[in-house]
A and B are shown apart, each in its own frame.
Chain A
């Protein structure tokens, strides 16, 4: 449903948008032109100046950035060759991709089947689960981090399973915290799919699993991708759990960047150029994902928020 609704809303009645229909444009106009330009320029500058700064500082020398230059006096790309070891970004990115990627795949798979049951069948406690999906997204991370940490250390003490410091601990944690939102995305998506196909398949003797794999899955790729991306972002962006539950070798990119950034203040020559280059590299996968799937993602965000 997410995408269909978004599409419907995203193209406000085509005859209005047809180029050349000047009258229609006047009818829809919300702001006088000068004010419109002021708003666009102000907000555009608000966003683009810091973004431009990241780019420029990332190709500036460390000293240049430290001196407060906006335009680099010397353009150099050596920041980008240093950060892999100085920030530990090679290791961090590998861990981030591994953990967030695994979270995305498993979370998407689990949320499809969970949402399928929630949307297509009725049972006692169904509404409670739906409400729980929304409520769980607001549980403060800081509330959970200590008990989860204690639970994982107890697993080592009592069961002999070492979880803290490994990527497994992070993976399980992210997977769990990603599930409510991913499932909700799938619930809204599956609701928009026509039920008739599934009913026809059932009449032809398909099992529940058959319906899920042959009918629902092929139809819901856009929803699955969106739900997987949100799970990926949760893992990629987390600092709280990763800062507590990782060792240097299992550190994610977010923690590597945070530690590197925090350690610059005391140093004689702060490596700000490298810091900005590393920040840019950490942001790149997220921005690329967003650009590719922009239409679906935005649809997933606002779907249904209207009425």
Chain B
């Protein structure tokens, strides 16, 4: 469930502990694979597949069924009057989709969602990398600093949003601080500036995620590499640019995809920060879908919008699933 961006962390697949022979064989994997018939027999006979049933039943009832139901609802004329007997609601084909595209702020919402996600990502990447680079080497108090850096990430989204809402309120602490140095900004929680408020708070909440993944990338840099660049007398900037950063490409690409998914799906932050109905400039896709359902009671239309958001999420998700390795490395002698 992706209602809450900052806490849901995706595991990053592709485990590096490829155990050598003896890992599970994928059904339909290459026959004649090293691993030995004995082990193969062990894992194929007497499988307790029934253990998958509880989870499977839950998935079907609470995810698959509603997903299909949602798609079905998007072709119905469903409002507060027809919802009770939704089975017999009038079928109207693609009308909801047509209305969503032509007669609702859907396209604007898609644009807002994508641009806000990208903007937040563009700023969090350098912040996270800088933090990782700064805390990679041991120094006194590093453990404390690392814990501090993760605070925004650990705080629940609804707490982060509540606190920022209080700080950014007219006459609040932020206005006071900026005013004392002579900067007078307009409203943060209303009007056109709200878009930037959302971007800023999202940045505050999600840079530690980039930091975590960048840190794990840095730790994979071999010691020899450090020694080699020290021997060459590389300047710190050149060392970072040409020696260290290449190691970060993989983790950061992953962080980028997952972060984008989080931002696009984030409902809690804009919802708690601005309330509903939200200002037009922060009516991102999750908020628009929610408002159309539970404020305007246009359930069919909302289902059509939700379908669009699924398509939008599917793009980074597809790339992510392609990039991720699901199974252990099956190659014998895989790097331990």
Contact = CB atoms under 8 A, between A and B. Distances in A.
Interface of A: 1, 4-5, 9-10, 12-13, 16-17, 25-32, 36, 39-40, 43-44, 46-48, 50-51, 53-54, 57, 65-70, 110-111, 113-114, 116-127, 129-132, 134-148, 150-151, 153-154, 157, 172-179, 181, 183-185, 188, 191-192, 195, 199, 202, 208-209, 212, 230, 233-234, 236-241, 243-244, 254, 257-258, 261-262, 265, 272, 275-276, 279, 282-283, 286-287, 290-291, 294, 298, 300-307
Contacts of B136: 28, 30
A261 B162 contact: yes
Given A5-B17, A172-B58, A113 B272 contact: no
A54 B162 CA distance: 10
B63 A183 contact: no
A287 B7 CA distance: 12
Interface in B135-175: 135-138, 145, 147-152, 154-159, 162-167, 169, 171-173, 175
Given A29-B236, A234-B8, A142 B327 contact: no
Given A140-B306, A144-B66, A147-B66, A121 B47 contact: yes
Interface of B: 1-4, 7-17, 19, 22-28, 39, 42-44, 46-49, 51-52, 54-55, 58-59, 61-63, 65-67, 69-70, 73, 83-84, 86, 127, 130-131, 133-138, 145, 147-152, 154-159, 162-167, 169, 171-173, 175-177, 204, 212-213, 215-217, 219-220, 223, 226-227, 230, 236, 239-240, 244, 250-251, 254, 261, 264-265, 267-268, 271-272, 275, 285-286, 289-290, 293-294, 299, 302-303, 306-307, 309-310, 313, 317, 320-321, 324, 326-328, 335
A146 B303 contact: yes
A157 B84 CA distance: 9
Nearest to A132: B59
Nearest to B69: A147
Given A188-B15, A208-B48, A239-B267, A127 B326 contact: yes
B47 A123 contact: yes
B175 A302 contact: no
Nearest to B289: A142
Given A39-B131, A43-B149, A140-B265, A145 B290 contact: yes
Contacts of B135: 40
Given A238-B1, A240-B267, A307-B250, A143 B306 contact: yes
B242 to A, nearest CB: 13
Contact of A137 (B10, B272, B289): B10
Contact of B173 (A70, A291, A304): A70
A29 B306 contact: no
23 contacts: A5-B17, A9-B220, A27-B230, A30-B239, A43-B130, A110-B55, A116-B51, A124-B28, A139-B67, A141-B4, A143-B289, A144-B70, A176-B61, A177-B1, A195-B22, A237-B7, A239-B158, A257-B158, A290-B154, A301-B212, A302-B216, A303-B11, A305-B14
A142 B151 CA distance: 26
A176 B272 contact: no
Given A114-B51, A179-B55, A234-B4, A122 B27 contact: yes
Given A290-B150, A304-B15, 16 more contacts: A27-B226, A28-B226, A30-B239, A47-B152, A68-B171, A110-B58, A122-B43, A127-B26, A144-B1, A144-B63, A147-B70, A153-B84, A208-B46, A208-B47, A209-B48, A286-B155
A176 B10 contact: no
A174 B8 CA distance: 13
Contacts of B70: 143-144, 146-147
B11 A300 contact: yes
A240 B290 contact: yes
B42 A199 contact: yes
A113 B156 contact: no
B43 to A, nearest CB: 5
A57 B162 CA distance: 13
Contacts of B272: 239, 258, 261-262
A306 B130 CA distance: 18
Nearest to A260: B162
B263 to A, nearest CB: 12
Nearest to B235: A32
A140 B299 contact: no
Given A1-B15, A30-B236, A53-B163, A120 B24 contact: yes
B24 A138 contact: no
B331 to A, nearest CB: 13
B15 A303 contact: yes
Contacts of A10: 219
Contact of B59 (A124, A136, A257, A265): A136
B4 A238 contact: yes
Contact of B12 (A51, A199, A305): A305
Contacts of B66: 144, 147-148, 150-151
A136 B321 CA distance: 11
Contacts of A114: 51-52, 54-55
Given A134-B10, A306-B220, A121 B43 contact: yes
A25 B137 CA distance: 8
Nearest to B154: A290
A181 B8 contact: yes
B51 A47 contact: no
A120 B62 CA distance: 27
Nearest to B45: A121
